[in-house]
Amino acid sequence: MNKEKRHEIFRRLQAINPKPTTELEYSNPFELLVAVILSAQATDVGVNKATRRLFKVANTPKKLLALGEDGLKEYIKTIGLFNTKAKNLIKTARILEEKYNGEVPRDRDALESLPGVGRKTANVVLNTAFGEPTIAVDTHIFRVSNRTGLAKGKTPLAVEKKLLKVVPEKFKKDAHHWLILHGRYVCKARTPNCAECVIRDLCDYKEKTDQPKRNTSGSSNKTAVSDASQNAKKKNTTTKNTSKPVKTPD
């Protein structure tokens, strides 16, 4: 795929969703970090149901430590691997309190040193909380990148490095959100909705489907992507992009 096609892909994705964001609900960097850790092998919908209750009582490292591991489990027990996640979150909260004065660090190495935080989670936090042009490659982005020919690779890291190399600079900050939403609502794993895909003619996928696949609400997938992003914007408080770590309130 040449650079002209790649530019046009992102131009079209931007046109239908100018300001994309995560579907995880959060109001500060620590809430986002917690939500992303909980989202491993879980759905955003399931995580949001749990964190809506959790964040009312514990939305800072100090408050989470006061809640304790057993108390935390009561709020996240509906999420897969909740025992391990609770243990990691308490350890992470303690490190943030003791080492970073309750702040979420704006540094990859510091983030990846936290229990339960890998490269993908660090990328999401750096991009969504701090506005860094990182691209977290999850199963949706891995599939879309390989299927379309946008950035082929055998591993998530290989795809990430390729995307960082080929995505035009003007689109890099929002590329993660556009690709994940496209994979979630249009370029699905089992039944890609090629008939309603805005980048169908630019895609290298040879087994395109012809019949439109409607979502359960009856609206088009193009609308579903836009609606999902708009709903997320209404629920989330945008964190300002500053060069310093953002202090989470006690």
Quick: pLDDT tens for 134-191: 999 999 999 999 999 999 999 999 999 999 999 999 999 999 999 999 999 999 999 8
The pLDDT confidence band at residue 238, using thresholds 50, 70 and 90, is very low
Residue 173: predicted pLDDT: 95
Active site residues: 120, 138
Mean pLDDT of 129-134: 95
Question: How wide is the angle at C-alpha 51 spanned by C-alphas 50 and 55, nearest 5°?
Answer: 140
Residue 210: predicted pLDDT: 73
Assign 153 to helix, strand or coil. coil
Quick: pLDDT tens for 209-236: 775 545 444 444 455 555 555 555 555 5
Quick: pLDDT tens for 99-125: 999 999 999 999 999 999 999 999 999
Mean pLDDT, all residues of the chain = 87
Question: How wide is the angle at C-alpha 37 spanned by C-alphas 42 and 40, nearest 5°?
Answer: 30
Q: Tell me the CA distances in angstroms from 24 to 52, 88, 144, 229, one per residue in order.
A: 10, 19, 20, 10
Model confidence, pTM: 0.82
Query: What six digits make up the tokens of 165?
Result: 């190399």
> Is the Cβ–Cβ distance between 181 and 189 less than 8 Å?
no
Domains of the chain, by residue range, sit at 3-16+134-232, 29-132
> Is the Cβ–Cβ distance between 232 and 22 less than 8 Å?
yes
d(CA 145, CA 162): 9
User: Up-side HSE of residue 243: CA atoms within 13 Å toward CB?
Assistant: 0
Quick: pLDDT tens for 5-38: 999 999 999 999 999 999 999 999 999 999 999 9
Topology match between the domains 3-16+134-232 and 29-132: no
Q: Which CATH architecture has domain 3-16+134-232?
A: Orthogonal Bundle (1.10)
Which of 1.10.150.20, 1.10.340.30, 3.30.420.40, 4.10.110.10 would CATH assign to domain 29-132?
Answer: 1.10.340.30
